[in-house]
Amino acid sequence: MAKLQKDKLPEHLAIIMDGNGRWAKSQGFKRILGHKNGTKAVRQTVETCAELGIKNLTLFAFSTENWNRPKLEINTLMELLVSSLKKELPTMMKNDIKLSAIGKLKTLPKAVQGELNEVIVQTKNNNRMNLILALSYGARNELVRATKNIAKQVRDKKLAPEDIDAKLIQEHLYTAQLPDVDLLIRTSGEQRISNFLLWQIAYAELYFTKTLWPDFRKEDLLEALLNYQNRERRFGKISEQLE
């Protein structure tokens, strides 16, 4: 494999971690074992991104639509999230990784909220990499939330309608302090966005791999990053303007 160029790495990488259930089914296991094995891929991906120098990594861990899954699976997923946060805290401290979360966090079970807040507080001074978990997250909900907050400011005469622009909307998103996504990876062969960071991926490069998330390893990540570096990002310009 060709060598990655350190100066051309994405500043913000986002991943839709898909395929846990199908992986378990293919192995003859229950779906939850797919989720448990998926935590290994999370650990390796996070550590590799930190080693490479990728500053921001957002992982789609649980969507607003995932609440429609069977109650047993949801409860097991939440228990797995709590145990994973406890287990991975030393790794985050060792690798100087700061954790944050986006989404309707108040809809999460109290135990999850408590453990999540604890890890966020413990890692708040780390600055090597930002790890963002999207939990109970939906992009449409995020945009509705932003619109309502802006509308309230207009209603209260704190803001004029003509003052509303892309920058203002960005400031009202969960990711207000983050740069837009440069590269979005989705595993499992599905080729859709699934209501994830719709505003933030406006100019992102999209990379789809058939690899199921529990099988996603460092080599798969490096292949995706190399593919990204071989693309020409024009942002509406023509090639000659970039030279």
Per-residue pLDDT of 59-86, as tens digits, reads: 999 999 999 999 989 998 999 999 999 9
109: burial class by Cβ within 10 Å (0-12, 13-18, 19+)? middle
Residue 125 falls within a domain, yes or no?
Answer: yes
Residue type, 34: G
Report the candidate in 8, 7, 2, 10 with the shortest Cα–Cα distance to residue 184.
10
Q: Is residue 98 part of a domain?
A: yes
Other C-beta atoms lying within 10 Å of the C-beta of residue 227: 14
Look at residue 156 and tell me if it is in a domain: no
Domain count within the chain: 1
Q: Which range of residues forms the domain containing residue 64?
A: 10-137+181-228
List the one residue out of 85, 81, 72 whose CA is nearest residue 31: 72
User: What pLDDT score does 2 carry?
Assistant: 66
Residue 201 included in any domain: yes
Read off the pLDDT band of 27 (50, 70, 90).
Answer: confident
Q: Tell me, yes or no, whether 96 lies in a domain.
A: yes
Distance CA 81, CA 39 (A): 9
Which tens digits make up the pLDDT trace of 133-179? 999 999 999 999 999 999 999 999 999 999 999 999 999 999 999 99
Question: CATH number of the domain that 118 lies in?
Answer: 3.40.1180.10
pLDDT of res. 152: 98
Would 234 be classed as within a structural domain? no
pLDDT (average), residues 119-124: 97
Whether residue 232 contacts residue 239, with contact meaning beta carbons closer than 8 Å, is answered with: yes
Q: pLDDT class for 33, splitting at 50, 70, 90?
A: confident
Q: Is residue 239 part of a domain?
A: no
For residue 217, the SS3 value is: coil
Q: Is residue 170 part of a domain?
A: no
Angle at 140 between CA 134 and CA 144, to 5 degrees: 110
**Residue corresponding to tokens 């990499």:** 129
pLDDT at position 3: 87
How much is the pLDDT for 240?
A: 59
Residue 238 pLDDT > 60: no
Q: Looking at the annotation, which residues are catalytic?
A: 18, 66
Mean of the per-residue pLDDT values for the chain? 94
pLDDT attached to residue 243: 64
The residue type of 56 is N
> What pTM was computed for the model?
0.93
Q: CA geometry: angle at 130 spanning 242 and 22, to 5°?
A: 90
